[in-house]
Amino acid sequence: MPKQKELNSEVDKRPVVVLQYLTLIHYRESVFNRIASDPRIDFTICCGKKSPYQKMRNFEPQPPLKIKWVKNFVVNITQMHFIVWQWGAIINLVRTRPNVLILLGADPHILSSFPLFFIAKILRVKVCWWSHATLAGQGFLGRWLRLFFYKHADGILAYDEVGRLRLEKAGVEPSTMTTIWNCLNDADYKLSANDRQVTENDRTIRVLYIGRLYRDKKMRLLIEAAAILKDRGVTFVVDIVGDGPELTATKEKSIALDLNDVIRFHGAKYDDDLTQFLSKADIGVIPSWAGLSAIQYMASGIPVITEENRGINHPPEVSAIIEDETGAFFDFESAESLANTIEATYPKVKSLSNSCLKLVREQFTPEAVKEAIILGVLKVNAS
């Protein structure tokens, strides 16, 4: 049996890892706690309390999660765009001098990340980007700058294989990259195939939308698709769970198309209040911009339908939606195609549901993501 002195020596050899994050966003609680509890690294989050995401909740940290608080100076440009400078982050880096510093994705919104990168290099601290691994939408200069930071980093934690391969094709060294996927909190994974409350003899198609209602989400396509299904005589209901700046316009469109009997608005719901909707839905529809909400549906065995045009319009989590395996895609900007896809998907819901649960267990749980992150960090530390 190892002596206590030997055990302490092993602990002391753990690489010190600092994650430079914005705030303690609620949906990261489980994966952060798992990383903090893992004996292979000494993990600290350096972050602020003021969130640039105006409607996102934060969580209160508990041991063993270690936090170094800094001050976020935030300028909100729109509800989705902002600029942040993290006062105190540079001082913390100089004082801490970790083995590995993790920064968020060469994001031009987070201005302090770039001086942190250069200072870490001067201090011989290894730098890793936790990144969507995107290059589009920034223009020539933005693409060049992102590639500069990715190519000169010691490591990249990419959200999906598509992003990893994109950077590899652009010239980033493959050995520096690790695919980590993404996840929600443990509580969002409590439903299984046996918990589904859908009745076999009930031919009503139960469609669910959960999330904020922004213009970019294209809720009009879901409302127009519902009108098409109603005209065809299809038996269905649509539950819309969420609020946002487009809620009033979406309700007005539903009333104008005489859909009050099939579209139901429930406002924002969280945690246990979502269970009643997730347990009864057949299909989750994300009209556009399918991000982490896709995993929320699939973790409950609900296949997801979203808009094609993945290269421009979706975050990395869309890679979890696999045609005829975990969901389907409808034609860009086409409500009729969405209606057709809902009808075509419904008979396959049971087999799709099992595939959703299997994929989530393998790649998109807090435990799976924690393991991928730690292995990626250890690879960077050893490089």
Q: Which domain holds residue 159?
A: 11-183+365-382
Flag whether pLDDT at 344 surpasses 90.
yes
Domain-located, residue 4: no
For residue 192, is pLDDT > 60?
no
pLDDT at 135: 84
How confident is the model at residue 271, as a pLDDT?
79
Q: Which residue did the predictor score with more confidence, 101 or 137? A: 101
Looking up tokens 């609620």, which residue turns up? 26
209/138 same-domain check: no
Residues 265, 172: one domain? Answer: no
Position 266 scores a pLDDT of: 97
Asked if 234 and 377 sit in the same domain, the reply is no
DSSP string, 56-125: --B----TT-EEEE-EEEEEESSSS-EEEEEETHHHHHHHH--SEEEEETT-TTBTTHHHHHHHHHHTT-
Residue 140: what pLDDT?
Answer: 80
pLDDT, residue 378, reads 98
Q: Average pLDDT for residues 18-35, to the nearest whole number? A: 97
**Comparing 11-25, 238-252, 320-334, which segment has the lowest mean pLDDT?**
11-25
Per-residue pLDDT at 315: 85
Confidence category of residue 3, pLDDT binned at 50, 70, 90: low
Confidence of residue 195 (pLDDT cuts 50, 70, 90): low
Domain with residue 259: its CATH number is 3.40.50.2000
Q: What total of structural domains would you count in the chain? A: 2
In a domain, 219, yes or no: yes
Domain co-membership, 209 together with 340: yes
**Rounded mean pLDDT, 253-268:** 97
pLDDT value for 7: 42
Structure tokens at 190: 């409590």
What is the mean predicted confidence (pLDDT) over 244-257? 96
Question: What strand order describes the sheet that includes 263-267?
Answer: 263-267, 236-241, 205-210, 283-286, 304-307, 327-330
